[in-house]
Structure 1
């Protein structure tokens, strides 16, 4: 099956005989009494019923529908239901800070808001501006309750042109207020999902695979992922909504994955499971990570946890606006190499025949020679349609036929690409990302290291540990040979401001630690 219409995705898969069984770590928020085991025909019926309920609420073709709720894969089921009736879903993470969420809702101006009572409590002004409001958890005065709406309507699917708006996702927001990115069926389904929905030797999904995904389901990657995995129909799909090891462990041990995809931050959080006697990753043949580069210690731990002879790690680099741009593979031997910190920042080569990269001077925009750092520009047929409410910002990031990634990196002579920093996060005299990787390799107790600029003098490192403590002698040894830095701020995981995908919000962390944020120009953000 080739993914095509997201509104009938599960119906098409059921008609094609897909037998995938889905196992959830908790029931769907839109079907709280229906259990944690689902088949493809059951999911098709749930999407149809949800589409009928949205129609009963008053949602119409062409309407923008904002979805803001707790993290779960039913974000995508709600989006598919909205697509089915011809509306345009906008998936917004409930983990956004309230001011940022309010800003995005004002830019979006949705005809309907599908949300929870908790979100309504902190966003009443924005909710009041939406003509329709539907809650998925409990009934709230002034809002319709999803479960109480009529699910028996005819609900014939509404088709749209492949170049019309299909879905809206927001960027991670590491450097400020996230941007609202519009994708079409052509860019997201035809150019991205269809490229991935192929049984490539060694890395493609097999019919007997057990695939586990632990993601932030409001973000663009999972909407594309939903199209891909429904088309390829592995035997089982395990859905994790959180990153607490003890919560995830029972489901992972009940259905040990053969393919694992997770957020880089989630891999870090679940890493203690790799050291358990009955570790749930023993059958994994392929790990997949996107959104951010993996730090070498975590990568090594997971590859070592697999009992397969030659497990692979596929690391993708891309953006919400573009989808995947490069791929890189790691093995046990490459993860153990002395230069592992630099090789994880080498994000592979552009996708053959799909993506082109160019490195230019950020001031003159003239190309720089291979091996020299500069601003990374991209050319891809999967480029999104634009930003909601910020089209001037979108046009400002175009450089002729090229698109500015906002990343500073190097295009090496062998064709591979390294990312050094976001342009907005650059500091003089160092690559923050590379220095952070080296620190993590030298500090086994560190869950994460982050370097931010300080208003005067050397940059400030933040070291994240389980208990908020760090041995001063270990720190002295770790910084030998590295650029000058201040004494570290030692924090716990929950003390670090993060995006919905677990990325560190560096500017917010810098303001928290120093009172200000020292950044690059921000011109290409």
Structure 2
């Protein structure tokens, strides 16, 4: 992608908010051409290190844009990048590395000495009774690090002592000769990402060029109206969505602003300085960025198009974002889908439409690429307006779950993929999302709908999540901006006409268990409540 874009657009700028770990000297202002050159350089180093086509290369390091550059470099020599979120717990990362079957590992010293320190402990204990903690080396073929070396590590031929777990720095191969790109068959595995893990240990989703391409084509069509506009992105670099969006933006030659730190104090001035016409981030980050709507410098005033994926976005947030733009007719596009499917439905909000839109409507299927249906308890197509399981048929479906084929097969029936969500369709084909199947509470028709109402009625809320308590009663967990105490009177007024719920528990937003895309892990909150592990502060705490 970078090489094609460099040939077409060359000097188009790419701005970062922190230097790349693999090349800190490159600074914060790069171009398509410079990033393509860095991909060339890193792919040559990986080949010199011994990485070969079809081999799996796990990338699990501190969050930064070089995760993307490394993934492209791995892919360029025909190896298969396996992207593990920087936010994974060490034991979870260790389990995923084991499923990958002794992959190469690209990481950094901070991750090796932090979350990955005991990643191999379960395997070591199983193979050697009484063994203590073991590093990640027992799970991988070789550890490569992006850290600057003080010399060339052991295997590079100088006799220096290797780093933790025998790690070899990539700059040990800094003078490697360029290697020609290797293109795999379109239906061979070409990328591995993982599911969100909201319902347990994440699954490893195996993508190929054929299905990734089928996802990219309709997204290019959606990107046509804003072709060439500057784009500001804060997304998980370990999620397949980032690579689809990157493919669209590079295809149209958009200048890029890639943001690692979403704190409004940092992101706001960057957005105000660079005036993007396109902004995409996670729905929960958009909630955080509501405060940028009237921030100094009007950082969102130039936005023509917002993009939201991963989770449903609150109507209050849509209204504030669109109201912050000074463009004549800004819009927000919401994509509904999964890592396994890519987008299967899309919804378009305008300023006028957002005010009267049903927040549970997540859109319609993508003509020519996806179909959506609702299945009843017996697997038959449900009538319009009747709730049931949401299923999708898509040309962008992953090949399998690595090491969990049985889970993949359970979700796929006659070409229809079970999304794990409950919803219904209207007679015109509009899809409405109610809840995840595992999150259903009998006393509440839709947790998500109630949460949307509360967010709209209580401007001070940063987040509200309704989970089942010990008796399956609805328990609202709320977060207030600035961690101020929740006003009991306002809460009572806001909930007077809603289904009965327990007294709210007020938590700090940082205490909510989240995925790398800031999805809330509802099952984990329920488990925390069962254990009495309440990091609450304020009302109900």
Same fold (TM over 0.5): yes
Match of 2:187 in 1: 163
CA distance in 1, matches of 2:92, 2:85: 10
2:76 is the counterpart of 1:84: yes
| Other-structure match for 1:20 | 12
Map residues 359-508 of structure 1 onto 2, 5 A cutoff: 359-361=374-376, 363-430=377-444, 431-456=446-471, 458-466=473-481, 467-508=483-524
Does residue 328 of structure 2 align to residue 319 of structure 1?
no
Contact map agreement 1:66 1:110 (CA 8 A) in 2: no
State the match for 1:351 in structure 2: 366
Aligned pairs (5 A) from 1:145-224: 145-188=169-212, 190-198=213-221, 204-207=225-228, 209-224=229-244
8 A Cα contact 2:441 2:473, kept in partner: no
Q: 1:73 to 1:193 in 2, by over 3 A?
A: farther
Match of 2:146 in 1: 136
Alpha carbons of structure 1 residues 71 and 344: separation in structure 2 relative to 1, 3 Å:
farther
Query: 1:233-272 residue pairs with structure 2 within 5 A?
Result: 233-234=253-254, 236-272=255-291
Distance 1:427 1:154, change over 3 A: same
SS at match of 1:93: coil
Equivalent of residue 49 in structure 2, options 33, 54, 57: 57
Change (3 A) 1:111 1:103: closer
Aligned residue number for residue 5 of structure 1: none
The alpha-carbon deviation at position 516 of structure 1 amounts to: 8.6
Gaps of at least 5 residues in structure 2 are: 121-135, 150-162, 534-541
Q: Which runs of 5+ in 1 are unaligned?
A: 1-8, 518-525
1:521 maps to none
Query: Does the CA-based 8 Å contact 1:71-1:218 persist in structure 2?
Result: no
Distance 2:281 2:22 in 1: 23
Distance in 1, Cα, partners of 2:102 & 2:352: 50
Q: 1: CA distance between counterparts of 2:403 and 2:532?
A: 28
User: 1:333, 1:429 → 2: CA distance?
Assistant: 33
Tell me the distance in 2 between the aligned counterparts of 1:377 and 1:81: 35
Q: Deviations over 1:418-444 (max 9, x none)?
A: 111111111113211111111111111
Q: 1:478 to 1:220 in 2, by over 3 A?
A: same
How far off its partner does 1:138 sit? Answer: 5.0
Asked if 1:66 corresponds to 2:55, the answer is no
Deviation, 1:266, is 1.3
**What aligned pairs does 1:301-320 form with structure 2 within 5 A after superposition?**
301-320=320-339
**Counterpart position of 1:3:** none
1:295 to 1:82, Cα distance in 2 relative to 1, 3 A: same
C-alpha distance in 2 between matches for 1:72 and 1:265: 19
Asked whether the 8 Å contact 2:195–2:203 carries over to 1, the reply is yes
Q: State the partner residue of 2:89.
A: 97
Larger radius of gyration: 2
Please identify, of 488-497 and 106-115, the stretch whose mean Cα deviation from structure 2 is larger.
106-115
Distance of aligned partners of 1:437 and 1:151 in 2 relative to their CA distance in 1, 3 Å threshold = farther
Match of 1:366, SS? coil
- CA–CA distance in 1 between the matches of 2:197 and 2:148? 30
Length-normalised TM-score, structure 1: 0.92
Hey, what does 2:152 align to over in structure 1? none
- The alignment's TM-score, normalised by the length of structure 2, stands at 0.89
Q: CA deviation at 1:18?
A: 4.3
Secondary structure at 1:16 match in 2: helix
Q: 1:476 to 1:54 in 2, by over 3 A?
A: same
Query: What is the root-mean-square deviation in Å for CA atoms of aligned residues?
Result: 1.7
In the alignment, the residues of structure 1 paired with residue 522 and residue 309 of structure 2 have an alpha-carbon distance, to the nearest angstrom, of 19
Deviations 1:264-321 (A, max 9, x none): 1111122211122421111111111111111112111111110112111111111101
Q: Which moved more, 1:94-103 or 1:172-181?
A: 94-103
2:306 paired with 1:296: no
User: What is the match of residue 31 of structure 1?
Assistant: 23
Compared with structure 1, are the counterparts of its residues 110 and 221 closer, same or farther at alpha carbon in structure 2 (3 Å cutoff)? Answer: farther
Of 236, 245, 250, the match for 1:230 = 250
Structure having greater relative contact order (Cα 8 Å, sep ≥ 6):
1
Question: CA offsets per residue over residues 168-208 of structure 1, 9 Å max, x none?
Answer: 011111111111101100001x20123322476xx63322x
Aligned to 1:523: none
Distance 1:147 1:494 in 2: 36
Rounded to whole Å, the distance in 1 between the matches of 2:221 and 2:382 is 36
Deviations 1:309-337 (A, max 9, x none): 21111111111011111111112223223
Deviation of residue 513 (structure 1)? 2.4
State how far apart, in whole Å, the 2-side matches of 1:63 and 1:409 are.
Answer: 40
